[in-house]
Amino acid sequence: MGWLNILAGLAVLFFGRRLFWLFVGCVGFIAGFELAGDMLQGQQAWVILVIALGVGVLGAIASVFLQRIFVVIAGFFAGGYCLSTLAPLAFDAKGEIIPWIAFAVGAVVGAILTAALLEPALIIMSSLAGATAVSRHVPLDASARTVLFIVLLVLGIAVQAGQYTKETKSQRPQRAE
């Protein structure tokens, strides 16, 4: 099932800001998949997949109607997901408390960033979430996974920032010469 997380991660990595409903839906899917997998250990894979798909689809549909709220919620979960994944690697911790503390800190920072700076935060948060989802599910050793994460993060931010710049330039009125 890791390939589904990789596909969702790639979609968010490159199109998370432009298609905010995709960002919300994919983050919902990834969070639902991770949480259902942790909470329902021993359950059949299809049950976890259905729960993850349900959370993702509900998030995407609701985000169309409640855009700002759901983008902040997605920023909350994206920030939490990224930090809870990266903290055990950074601190070389094996305990269960470090990921939860990291999740809480990342979630609060992610929510505040998306609320305050919507467009740039969407670019950064969706790139972080996408790079995390992809690098976490690619079968590489820890150092290669870290390099992949950094490369994907920079690439995602560059692609989405380029898209945003192109969109804002085309929307500006042309000056008469």
Each residue of 136-163: pLDDT tens digit? Answer: 888 888 889 889 999 999 999 999 999 8
Can you give the pLDDT at residue 174?
58
Task: Please give the Cα distance from 10 to 108 (Å, whole number).
Answer: 24
Question: Tokens in use for 72?
Answer: 């902040």
Each residue's pLDDT tens digit, 93-149:
666 788 888 889 989 998 888 888 878 888 888 898 889 889 988 888 888 988 999
Q: Is pLDDT at 20 greater than 80 in this prediction? A: no
Each residue's pLDDT tens digit, 24-69:
777 787 778 878 887 888 788 888 888 888 888 887 788 777 777 8
Task: Please give the Cα distance from 134 to 104 (Å, whole number).
Answer: 22
Q: Tell me which residue of 19, 106, 36 sits closest to 70, measured CA to CA.
A: 19
Can you give the pLDDT at residue 158?
95
User: In this structure, are residues 153 and 127 in contact, taking their beta carbons and an 8 Å threshold?
Assistant: yes
Q: Which residues contact 89 (CB under 8 A, 6 or more apart)?
A: 142, 146
- Say which residue, 88 or 173, is predicted with more confidence: 88
With 0.75 as the threshold, say if the pTM is over it.
Answer: no
User: In this structure, are residues 59 and 28 in contact, taking their beta carbons and an 8 Å threshold?
Assistant: yes
